Amino acid sequence: METVIVSFLSMGFFGMLFGYGLAIATEKFHVHVDPKQTQVLDSLPGVNCSACGYTGCSKYAEAVAKGQAPVNLCVPGGEEVIEKLGAIMGVQAEKKEKRVAVLMCSAKNVKDKFWYDGVPTCRAAFLVQGGQKNCEYGCLSFGDCAEVCPTEAIKMRSDGLPEVIEDRCIACGKCAEVCPKNLYKILPISKYVHVRCMSLDKGAVAKKKCDNPCIACMKCQKVCPFDAIHVKNFLAVIDYDKCTSCGKCVEVCPTNIIRNYRDGRPVVSKWVNQFIDMALKAKQLQAEQAGTQQASQEAA
């Protein structure tokens, strides 16, 4: 009987001792969490895509709560989340335009230069002489981008090229990170026109590797009313800060490599075309004035 009592008292004593120790440790090592941080975290979609530049939603929430990050960085959350975070932090957030991933390759009939029988991923194939495709600048078609996409916004087409479903795309950039050929660009959705080729080969060489490459003909550069596209290293490159997506370059491209994504998107207002006409007239007037000035100088 005495043994039972001693055991009971011993257990009670050690229980109280350990409980007291845990209480002290909890108080001493307690990490205070800002209530705003909890509110911000609860308002985020929880995708942990890192599109905001932080390693996850919790890290971004912590930065927002401390005032170290703006409230408009959550791409998948969109305007709804921006408004919620702005209300929590008591700030007026600037709304950001939706951005989407664009694949800068639309190669047709690119043959393999050798038989690849290794690990079926783009990154693994790239380690073998830059990949099995004849065009060293084009897509390798193993679908690494589709695998890493957290919203299933990329699907592989029957021709082996990835296709971005814009409604699902959250512009997290994971496809751009995983692509060994750097074929993805994350761009504002209002930008409709893209040069879907990355080849730096001369036109004649590129045509031997692919049915529709950029051949550096410079027709796009000559017709652009905004000086927004130039051929550099045998490849047409768009300056998106100048480009208005007027589509003039699309009309003259002989290989159809400059593509207009306006189809399927909301129709742009008429003022865009009016603005383009005004720019063309201004450019023409500027040329006429320059000619008149030169003639006056020669006459003098």
Which 3-state string (H, E, C) describes the chain? CHHHHHHHHHHHHHHHHHHHHHHHHHHHCCCCCCHHHHHHHHHCCCCCCCCCCCCCHHHHHHHHHCCCCCCCCCCCCHHHHHHHHHHHHCCCCCCCCCEEEEECCCCCCCCECCCCCCCCCHHHHHCCCCCCECCCCCCCCCCHHHHHCCCCCEEECCCCCEEECCCCCCCCCHHHHHCCCCCEEEEECCCCEEECCCCCCCHHHHHHHCCCCCCCCCHHHHHCCCCCEEEECCEEEECCCCCCCCCHHHHHCCCCCEEECCCCCCCCCHHHHHHHHHHHHHHHHHHHHHHHHHHHHHHC
Do 161 and 184 reside in the same domain of the chain? yes
Note the pTM of the prediction, 2 decimals.
0.69
Residue 145 domain-assigned (yes or no): yes
pLDDT at residue 26 in the model: 58
The band of 269, judged by pLDDT with boundaries at 50, 70 and 90, is very low
Answer with the one of 189, 223, 258 that is the final residue of a domain.
189
pLDDT tens for each residue of 55-114: 888 888 888 888 888 888 887 777 788 888 888 888 877 777 888 999 999 988 899 999
> What is the domain range of residue 150?
97-189
109 lies in the same domain as 182? yes
Residues 43 and 84 in one domain: yes
**pLDDT (0 to 100) of residue 300:** 62
